């Protein structure tokens, strides 16, 4: 429901409604979802008494609090969930400090890593415009990470934005040089050859889908919504292994999820 905050009468009616128990009925206005100036213009001339409310009943089990066209929902629900096809998935990498951890060339990321190994804290903060540390990233922990892990193979390519491949340094250490590395998931791209499907499970925009052969950031598919990465192959012990968990499909025949995708293609 939309209420004008400066309407005393509206607040009174809302407070009175809160005292009623056991007989709730949700209402909605025709301008549901309207944003910007039109919304405020409407609120300035309406209150709860003047509004043409429509009774609205959210549907179980999700109880979406907005009108939906459910004409084809039953048909849609007969399909496979992507979480059933890919049994392992998760959010992409969130560096917490892109200006430090993401660069256009391998030479630039090598320079950044060497700086964190050699320069004192105050020089790093000045050079990389770093102010306060956060829960998931700090200069000290980033320095410790780069000095503890010196394998040159840790320099990696990363899908940073759609079709935007850049360079990073990835030790897999949580709250290190990369704040949220999603290491358990990204391990499957680092351990061997792989392909990952990247998409948004919930989005404010149209759904996007991409594929990548290397580690990917949390905005590698859509700019405003966190992306989910689904690796095609799993490397639990450093060796290639298809996702062999059995998934029961509509006809009741169990199928290997990876093989099901390959056969469909």
Q: Which residues pair with 198 in a beta bridge?
A: 210, 229
| 200 neighbors 118 (Cβ within 8 angstroms) | no
**Residue 110 confidence (pLDDT):** 98
Tens digits of residue pLDDT in 95-124: 999 999 999 999 999 999 999 999 999 999
Output the average pLDDT for the chain: 80
CB 241 within 8 A of CB 228: no
Spacing of C-alpha 1 from chain mean position:
28
Determine whether 33 is exposed, middle or buried from the number of CB atoms within 10 Å of its CB (0-12, 13-18, 19+).
Answer: exposed
Compare 234 and 249 and report the one with higher pLDDT: 234
How far apart (Å, rounded) are the C-alpha atoms in residues 222 and 199?
Answer: 8
More confident residue, 71 or 173: 173
CA distances from 73 to 69, 70, 78, 226 (A): 8, 5, 9, 25
Does this model's pTM top 0.75?
A: no
**pLDDT above 90 coverage of the chain, percent:** 48
| Short-list 170, 147, 148, 149, CA closest to 159 | 170
């Amino acid at each position: 429901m939309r209420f004008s905050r400066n309407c005393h009468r509206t607040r009174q009616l809302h407070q009175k409604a809160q005292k009623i128990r056991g007989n709730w009925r949700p209402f909605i206005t025709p301008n549901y979802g309207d944003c910007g100036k039109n919304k405020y213009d409407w609120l300035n001339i309406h209150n709860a008494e003047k509004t043409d409310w429509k009774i609205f009943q959210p549907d179980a089990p999700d109880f979406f609090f907005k009108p939906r066209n459910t004409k084809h929902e039953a048909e849609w629900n007969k399909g496979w969930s992507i979480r059933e096809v890919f049994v392992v998935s998760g959010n992409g990498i969130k560096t917490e400090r892109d200006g430090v951890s993401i660069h256009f060339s391998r030479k630039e990321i090598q320079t950044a890593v060497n700086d964190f190994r050699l320069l004192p804290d105050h020089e790093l903060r000045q050079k990389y415009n770093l102010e306060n540390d956060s829960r998931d990233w700090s200069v000290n922990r980033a320095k410790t990470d780069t000095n503890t892990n010196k394998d040159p193979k840790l320099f990696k390519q990363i899908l940073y934005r759609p079709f935007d491949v850049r360079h990073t340094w990835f030790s897999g250490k949580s709250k290190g040089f990369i704040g949220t590395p999603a290491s358990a998931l990204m391990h499957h791209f680092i351990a061997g050859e792989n392909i990952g499907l990247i998409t948004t499970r919930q989005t404010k925009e149209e759904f996007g889908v991409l594929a990548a052969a290397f580690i990917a950031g949390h905005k590698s598919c859509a700019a405003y919504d966190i992306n989910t990465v689904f690796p095609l192959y799993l490397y639990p012990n450093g060796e290639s292994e298809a996702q062999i968990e059995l998934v029961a499909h509509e006809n009741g025949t169990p199928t290997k999820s990876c093989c099901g995708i390959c056969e469909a293609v």
